[in-house]
Amino acid sequence: MLLIPYLCSTFSYKINNLNHSWLAKRSTIMAQMNFGGVTETVVTSKEFSLEKAREVLGNETIAVIGYGIQGPGQAGNLRDNGFNVIVGQRPGKTYEKAVADGWEPGKTLFSIEEAVQKGTIICMLLSDAGQIAVWPKIKKYLTPGKTLYYSHGFAITWNDRTGVVPPKDIDVIMVAPKGSGTSLRTMFKEGRGLNCSYAVYQDATGHAEEKTIAFGIGIGAGYLFKTTFVKEATSDLTGERGSLMGAIEGLLEAQYDVLREHGHSPSEAFNETVEELTQSLMPLFAEKGMDWMYANCSTTAQRGALDWAPRFKSAIKPVMEWLYLSVKTGQEAQISIDSNSKEGYREGLNKELEAMRNMEMWQAAVTVRKLRPENEK
């Protein structure tokens, strides 16, 4: 008689183990994709559905800390996708923006410390300098089993400089959208997604990777690719200072200046430097690649570009190596920490941006944009 309960118990145990094993295998199914001859593993909503993401994070309270650049996009997308989200923000303009976006004080909008206390997944979406400043106040609320989430590897990668050292009994994860929070939100509303990298720095619960992928799906990632906190931080700082912002601004200014110094009008110089790039050529290589853009330009343009591209690469690559070394050694991180933590930094930044805005090239841009047919209505 004792044998039957034993057999039932054993059978139930094996079935439960089988189910857990199957679920574990199911959760790790990912797509193998060829990126220029290199096979990489990626995750999309086909492999990890929104429904599964809701299941994984169903009991979590996601506290989005900071409502500046990434905060509104990630918080809004998560809320619209059915997750339990609250926001933590200091009083001020961004707090009022959160209220305007539908976050209710005392219900879904709190002070930073209160939101960290209430949340089980703490999303550190303040600026890098802001994260350093609030860390001493919030780390005591990071109790065992909680999750500390980032969208940038800066604070953890250079924690010898930032002082951000998480407790060992929490998960530390990252999903890093490859674009601004504004783009993340806009593309989400359009039914599109922004590609994101993801990483696990610390897995105290044994479920950190599953939570990370679920979070990426929740914010509306196009596809997710795996990285580390260090690789994300170094590639991100290199990209921002390089082709995404710093290098492109320097290149555009140099060409515009040369054209103007040789007698070309502001309208002509701007159109040949910026307007044609952003309105005509970028959409082509964004759609089907650089060769597609070349194929849709004149033979004169093709020949000249093919001849000059290697010269620019030879001139620029040493600067890029210099930049990468400056990032890798932490020098760029220290410059950011020192400058961004200074009193009056925001006012100084606004003056720098105002000086850029008042440059002839970007003032010419204002007029050119007004003359676009879609803006003349």
Q: How far is CA 299 from CA 4, 81, 293, 302, in A?
A: 83, 48, 12, 5
Does residue 178 sit in the same domain as residue 249? no
In the numeric block, which tokens belong to residue 320? 């890029």
Whether residue 11 is contained in a domain is answered as no
Whether residue 12 is contained in a domain is answered as no
Range of the domain at 369: 240-375
Domain count, the chain: 2
- What pLDDT score does 4 carry? 41
The owner of tokens 């429904």 is 51
Whether residue 21 is contained in a domain is answered as no
Note down pLDDT in tens along the chain; length 377 residues. Answer: 444 443 344 433 333 333 333 334 444 567 888 888 998 889 988 999 999 999 999 999 999 999 998 999 999 999 999 999 999 999 999 999 999 999 999 999 999 999 999 999 999 999 998 999 999 999 999 999 999 999 999 999 999 999 999 999 999 999 999 989 999 999 999 999 999 999 999 999 999 999 999 999 999 999 999 999 999 999 999 999 999 999 999 999 999 999 999 999 999 999 999 999 999 999 999 999 999 999 999 999 999 999 999 999 999 999 999 999 999 999 999 999 999 888 898 899 999 999 999 999 999 999 999 999 999 87
Looking at the DSSP bridge assignments, the partners of residue 225 are 42, 197
* Cα distance between residue 29 and residue 47, in whole Å: 6
Using the Cα atoms of residue 141, residue 144, residue 149 and residue 153 in order, give the sign of their dihedral: positive
Does residue 371 sit in the same domain as residue 224? no
Does residue 66 sit in the same domain as residue 109? yes
Does residue 66 sit in the same domain as residue 191? yes
CB-CB neighbours of 213 under 10 Å: 26
Catalytic residue positions, numbered? 152
Domain end among 228, 252, 273: 228
List Cβ neighbours of 25 (8 Å cut-off, separation of 6 or more): none
- What pLDDT score does 193 carry? 93
Does residue 186 sit in the same domain as residue 81? yes
Report the CATH number that the domain containing residue 173 is assigned in CATH.
3.40.50.720
Whether residue 103 is contained in a domain is answered as yes
Domain end among 228, 258, 278: 228
Report the CATH number that the domain containing residue 355 is assigned in CATH.
1.10.1040.10
Does residue 200 sit in the same domain as residue 253? no
